[in-house]
Amino acid sequence: MSSVAPSFGAAESSPERAPAASARRTPRWSDGAEREFAAEVTVLNLRRCRIAAIAGMMIIVWSTLLSLMLPELQFADLQAWFGACFALYALLLAVRTWVIRPTVPPWWREAYVLVFVVALIGICDGFFYVLSQQLTAVSAFSRGMLVTAVIFVLPPRRYLPFVAANELLLCAWVAWRGVRVDTLTAFLDGTAGAVVGAVISWVLYSAKRADFVHQQQIRRQHTEMNELMAITAHDLRSPLFSLNNLLALALSRAGLDRSRLLEVIADAARACDRMLELVSGLIAAHAVEGKPNAPVAVGDLRGPIGAAVVRLQPLAAARGLDLRLELPATAADARFHEAAVIQIIDNLVGNALKFTPAGGTVAVNLRPGARAWTLEVSDEGPGVPLDEQPRLFQKYARGSVPATQGEPSTGLGLFIVRTLAERMGATVSYTPRVPHGAVFTVVWPQA
């Protein structure tokens, strides 16, 4: 028997459950995405390390030849520094051949890139030191900042502090040593190089990161499209096959008695219903995902929740279930969109009715919480297996537990619930019910 118990008496505030599976949307930039992006950037930087090392060695060879032709560059410190830099580049290339091996831990590759960048800036600092002994205008430091910023994709949180520290140390050294380079000129040149290099590094890193996110979205959409095609083909094949057989039976046996003919028509109608349910779910999922957020307004949640539950009473009665509703005595003011709340109730209560065996109870309770309104939809079904809970609110996530009457699942209902709730500023979660069953909780902030 079905019963509606509005219970407009004072509702006691109950402690909120600790959800076992939360429907909060996974952040677009998760820890896994961060690691994947870091790995992609490291591979890119490793390739550029090789190019930079070879280019640096060629520049040193050319500079050595040039210094032999220009008298002002013919001093021992410069030639010694050329040799040291050439040897350092060769060493870095040799280490790179080991670092890129698949058996080497990933953090070694990241460390190598960082060491290479530090070495490259150190080489430029060294050239500044050597040349400043003889020349009054040296821009090796600022050029080093620009080169590293343009060549490598570097995380700002690691690169920018190093650039700032290197700039301060260089300026302090110039002021302390009293070299031929003008202190103010060195400071301005170094600061300009550091600032421009930092901006370039930030822009390039942000652009690379945005491109990575975009590529992730494309891959995810491609995966979802493949899943959609597989689900649609699988779910439509069975009812279409049944419908075809039923129609063939009706055509081949024109002399069927009326009762048998009605059975065939009823079976055909059920096959059509299954196909319509699948198509309707796909359309609904596309609608909530593709349309902008519906406008929300302050209102009483009891209205749409009560209306949705009353409309589902005939379905509960037909399945031999007791559908109960408990609402607070006072207005449950919150910001929501009425049609979205009704659709959430339709999906949550509809699922509860599907999985609760005949004679069971489905309860819908709206209670006040800590500055929030908490809606709980509980059933006496089998609940959700532990290994399926992390994917519970994802698109096309279909559980392994069959419905009591074998109804098919599109895997879109809870995805729609989550999407609609989040667009209203609400959260959705799942908690296992003891001893068996499921409790789905929707929490709206109080207006």
Residue-wise pLDDT for 138-176, tens only, equals: 555 666 677 787 888 888 777 777 777 777 777 676 666
User: Is pLDDT at 116 greater than 70 in this prediction?
Assistant: yes
Work out the percent of the chain whose per-residue pLDDT is above 90: 23
- Is the distance from CB of 433 to CB of 379 less than 8 angstroms? yes
Q: Which residue has the higher pLDDT, 250 or 447?
A: 447
Q: Which residue has the higher pLDDT, 447 or 244?
A: 447
- Is the distance from CB of 243 to CB of 268 less than 8 angstroms? yes
User: Is pLDDT at 9 greater than 50 in this prediction?
Assistant: no
Neighbours of 55 (CB within 10 A): 14
Secondary structure of residue 378 in the 3-state scheme: strand
pTM score of the predicted model: 0.50
- Asked, as a colleague might, if the bond just before 435 is cis with ω within 30 of 0, I would say yes
User: In the prediction, which pLDDT does 204 show?
Assistant: 85
Average pLDDT in the 318-323 region? 93
Backbone angles phi, psi at 142, to 5 degrees: -65, -35
List, in order, residues 6 or more apart from 174 with CB less than 8 Å away. 132, 181, 183, 186, 187
Q: With bands split at pLDDT 50, 70 and 90, how would you rate the model's confidence at 12?
A: very low
User: In the prediction, which pLDDT does 334 show?
Assistant: 93
User: Is pLDDT at 93 greater than 50 in this prediction?
Assistant: yes
Q: From residue 224, how far is each of 28, 400, 423 by CA, in Å?
A: 16, 20, 21
Token pair in block for residue 226: 């493949």
Region for 411 from its dihedrals, namely left if φ exceeds 0, alpha if ψ lies in -120 to 50, beta otherwise: left
Token pair in block for residue 343: 């659709």
pLDDT tens digits for 406-447?
676 667 788 888 888 988 889 999 999 888 899 999 999 987
- DSSP for residue 74: -
Q: What angle do CA 318, 324, 327 make, to 5 degrees?
A: 145
Q: With bands split at pLDDT 50, 70 and 90, how would you rate the model's confidence at 72?
A: low
List, in order, residues 6 or more apart from 142 with CB less than 8 Å away. 189, 190, 192, 193, 194, 196, 197
Give me the chain's average pLDDT, please: 77
Average pLDDT in the 349-371 region? 91
Q: With bands split at pLDDT 50, 70 and 90, how would you rate the model's confidence at 293?
A: low
User: Is pLDDT at 17 greater than 50 in this prediction?
Assistant: no
For the chain, list the domains and their CATH numbers. 31-219 (no CATH), 236-290 (no CATH), 295-445 (3.30.565.10)
User: In the prediction, which pLDDT does 67 show?
Assistant: 74
Q: Which of 13, 111, 95, 129 is nearest to 376 (CA)?
A: 13
- Cα–Cα distance for residue pair 367/434, rounded to 1 Å: 20
User: In the prediction, which pLDDT does 332 show?
Assistant: 93
Q: In 178-257, which ranges are continuous DSSP H helix?
A: 183-252
- Is the distance from CB of 403 to CB of 355 less than 8 angstroms? yes
pLDDT tens digits for 54-64?
988 998 888 78
Work out the percent of the chain whose per-residue pLDDT is above 70: 69
- Cα–Cα distance for residue pair 29/14, rounded to 1 Å: 35
List, in order, residues 6 or more apart from 252 with CB less than 8 Å away. none
Average pLDDT in the 302-331 region? 93
- Least trusted range by pLDDT, from 220-234, 262-276, 354-368: 220-234
